[in-house]
């Protein structure tokens, strides 16, 4: 783990959690760092919001009132939330460090969904269904691997093959499966290039037209199969109208921007919205040939995510880095802040640093001495495992610990014997669900 990219990752994690303008300790003023917004297509007054600092929020009255829906979630850095395509009331949530969660009761309660995962820094969920719509087909992007799981399978399995990438928490909106289930491909944007893998095919291939570009946002038009890839100051937005064979740059103006999200309007095929970190939101009515900035009413230009009400596509939602959630009822011409999102009085897991302990809690296995080495770089959201409190903390969920421990031990002094002890310990420690 001791290479520059990974040390930089700790800094990224800090920045991701507290925002670039501040240094640790975290800001005293509470804020919402919005990562993802979902409008339920079956009942568009139901909204789900994933935050990077306070977990998940839900409204059932179109955004007038809100509540936290974090029951069962151990990690509040929620980077993505998606509704099941096949099962009403089912949701999936991705956390950075705590892996995946599933809810079968519209977010009221959650349980871990980490069987088979070796990396639980999950940034994005891409969802699709089998052709008969019997089960969801999920793909998730973690910091180093791509995993897939069909709804009828118990475990995740890595589909990264020999593709090597490192995607920090800022590169987490660039995963597409499809564009339609029958000719399904995976596309993953990375800090260095866009990669494609034919479903059932072998291996990954870099998309030559975008070679080496930093890709931070992707989406696909389900009907046409057109693909959109947004870069980080690497030439703007690129569009492929032939399933990824050739790519053209969209219109001028975004070449130097950090593109965070691309939103297509299902009722107007040439209309698209792009969220950026430096220029706010831009809109195009001619499939990207020309762009207009639409920021009236937005207090900051760092916009992380966009969503629209599929029944009234002029009704938009925008999630900002620090300023919270905004909506527009006129296709983005004017924006209004959505008030009433609750704040956690103390930012969970980040502001409170637990006391040190090396004593296992009752009923838990003894902590091996070698585990202290895991605490050199980060703490744990489980206080019993904290030997050296630090700002960023990993979550001790049930998962495939051997894989995580091997990955974490690269370049450290943790010997193979110690790795085996630590993995066995964490497997036992996380075997039963933690008591609430």
- Which residue among 405, 425, 429, 430 contacts ligand HEC (CB under 6 A)? 405
For the record, the structure tokens of 101 come out as: 């969660």
Nearer Cβ to ligand HEC, position 50 or 227? 50
Contact yes or no for 318/347 (Cβ under 8 A) = no
User: What gap in Å lies between CA 40 and CA 34, rounded to an integer?
Assistant: 17
Window 169-188: contact mask with ligand HEC (x via CB under 6 A): --------------------
User: What gap in Å lies between CA 50 and CA 79, rounded to an integer?
Assistant: 6
Window 279-318: contact mask with ligand HEC (x via CB under 6 A): ----------------------------------------
Instruction: Name the minimum Å distance from CB 422 to ligand HEC.
Output: 5
- Which residue among 276, 350, 409, 430 contacts ligand HEC (CB under 6 A)? 409
DSSP at 209: G
User: What gap in Å lies between CA 241 and CA 227, rounded to an integer?
Assistant: 7
CA–CA distances in Å: residue 267 to residues 264, 273, 275, 377: 9, 13, 19, 49
Window 113-132: contact mask with ligand HEC (x via CB under 6 A): ------xxx-----------
Instruction: Name the minimum Å distance from CB 100 to ligand HEC.
Output: 11
Q: Are strands 379-380 and 393-394 parallel, antiparallel or unpaired?
A: parallel
User: What gap in Å lies between CA 423 and CA 429, rounded to an integer?
Assistant: 10
For the record, the structure tokens of 417 come out as: 């014997």
- Which residue among 2, 64, 133, 134 contacts ligand HEC (CB under 6 A)? 2
Give φ, ψ of 250 to 5 degrees: -75, -175
Instruction: Name the minimum Å distance from CB 166 to ligand HEC.
Output: 8
**Half-sphere exposure at residue 283, Cβ-oriented, CA atoms within 13 angstroms:** 18
Nearer Cβ to ligand HEC, position 96 or 326? 96
Nearer Cβ to ligand HEC, position 70 or 409? 409
Under rule CB under 6 A, residue 394 binds ligand HEC: yes
- Which residue among 10, 181, 293, 424 contacts ligand HEC (CB under 6 A)? 10
User: What gap in Å lies between CA 4 and CA 29, rounded to an integer?
Assistant: 32
Under rule CB under 6 A, residue 387 binds ligand HEC: no
Instruction: Name the minimum Å distance from CB 431 to ligand HEC.
Output: 15
Q: Could you tell me how many residues of this chain bind ligand HEC (CB under 6 A)?
A: 23
Instruction: Name the minimum Å distance from CB 423 to ligand HEC.
Output: 8
CA angle 34, 40, 46 (to 5 degrees): 75
Nearer Cβ to ligand HEC, position 287 or 382? 382
Window 135-174: contact mask with ligand HEC (x via CB under 6 A): --------x-------------------------------
Nearer Cβ to ligand HEC, position 120 or 173? 120
Instruction: Name the minimum Å distance from CB 190 to ligand HEC.
Output: 14
Task: Name residues whose C-beta falls within 8 Å of residue 345's C-beta, 6 or more positions apart in sequence.
Answer: 30
Instruction: Name the minimum Å distance from CB 229 to ligand HEC.
Output: 24
Q: Which of residues 54-113 bind ligand HEC (CB under 6 A)?
A: 97
Contact yes or no for 61/352 (Cβ under 8 A) = no
Nearer Cβ to ligand HEC, position 336 or 415? 415
Collapsing DSSP states into helix, strand and coil, what is residue 100? strand
Q: Are strands 78-83 and 91-95 parallel, antiparallel or unpaired?
A: antiparallel
Residues paired with 231 in a beta bridge: 215
Q: Which among 54-62, 152-160, 241-249, 401-409 is the span making contact with ligand HEC, rule CB under 6 A?
A: 401-409
Instruction: Name the minimum Å distance from CB 148 to ligand HEC.
Output: 17
Under rule CB under 6 A, residue 16 binds ligand HEC: no
Window 347-386: contact mask with ligand HEC (x via CB under 6 A): --------------------------xx-xxx--------
Cis before 107? omega within 30: no
Nearer Cβ to ligand HEC, position 10 or 384? 10
DSSP at 121: B
CA–CA distances in Å: residue 154 to residues 72, 111, 252, 431: 20, 14, 46, 16
- Which residue among 231, 358, 414, 427 contacts ligand HEC (CB under 6 A)? 414
CA angle 414, 417, 421 (to 5 degrees): 90
Contact yes or no for 392/10 (Cβ under 8 A) = yes
Give φ, ψ of 11 to 5 degrees: -65, -40
Q: Interface residues with ligand HEC (CB under 6 A)?
A: 1-2, 6, 9-10, 97, 119-121, 143, 373-374, 376-378, 394, 404-405, 408-409, 412, 414, 422
């Amino acid at each position: 783990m001791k290479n520059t990219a990974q040390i930089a990752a700790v800094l990224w994690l800090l920045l991701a959690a507290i925002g670039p303008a501040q240094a640790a300790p975290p800001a005293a003023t509470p804020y919402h760092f919005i990562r993802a917004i979902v409008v339920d297509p079956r009942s568009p007054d139901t909204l789900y919001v994933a935050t990077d600092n306070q977990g998940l929020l839900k409204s059932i009255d179109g955004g007038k009132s809100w509540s936290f829906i974090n029951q069962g979630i151990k990690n509040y850095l929620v980077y993505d939330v998606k509704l099941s395509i096949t099962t009403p009331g089912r949701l999936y949530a991705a956390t950075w460090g705590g892996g995946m969660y599933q809810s079968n009761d519209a977010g009221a309660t959650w349980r871990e969904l980490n069987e088979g995962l070796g990396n639980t820094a999950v940034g994005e969920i891409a969802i699709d269904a089998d052709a008969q719509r019997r089960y969801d087909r999920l793909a998730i992007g973690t910091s180093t691997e791509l995993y897939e799981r069909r709804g009828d399978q118990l475990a995740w399995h890595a589909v990264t093959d020999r593709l090597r990438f490192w995607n920090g928490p800022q590169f987490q909106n660039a995963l597409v499966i499809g564009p339609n289930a029958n000719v399904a491909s995976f596309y993953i944007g990375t800090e260095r290039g866009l990669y494609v893998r034919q479903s059932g095919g072998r291996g990954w291939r870099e998309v030559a037209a975008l070679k080496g570009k930093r890709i931070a946002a992707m989406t696909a038009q389900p009907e046409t199969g057109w693909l959109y890839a947004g870069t980080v100051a690497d030439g703007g937005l690129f569009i492929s109208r032939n399933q990824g064979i050739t790519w053209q740059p969209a219109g001028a103006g975004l070449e130097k921007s950090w593109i965070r999200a691309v939103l297509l309007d299902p009722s107007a095929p040439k209309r698209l919205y792009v969220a950026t970190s430096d220029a706010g939101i831009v809109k195009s009515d001619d499939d990207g040939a020309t762009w207009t900035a639409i920021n009236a009413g937005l207090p900051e230009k760092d916009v992380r995510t966009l969503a629209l009400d599929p029944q009234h596509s002029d009704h938009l939602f925008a999630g900002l880095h620090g300023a919270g959630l905004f909506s527009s009822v006129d296709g983005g011409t004017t924006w209004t802040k959505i008030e009433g999102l609750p704040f956690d009085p103390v930012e969970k897991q980040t502001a409170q640093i637990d006391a040190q302990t090396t004593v296992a809690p009752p009923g838990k296995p003894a902590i091996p001495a070698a585990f202290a080495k895991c605490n050199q770089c980060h703490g744990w959201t489980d206080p019993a495992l904290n030997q050296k409190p630090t700002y960023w903390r990993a979550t001790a969920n049930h998962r495939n610990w051997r894989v995580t421990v091997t990955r974490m031990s690269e370049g450290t002094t943790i010997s193979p014997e110690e790795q085996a002890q630590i993995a066995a310990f964490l497997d036992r420690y996380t075997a039963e669900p933690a008591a609430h």
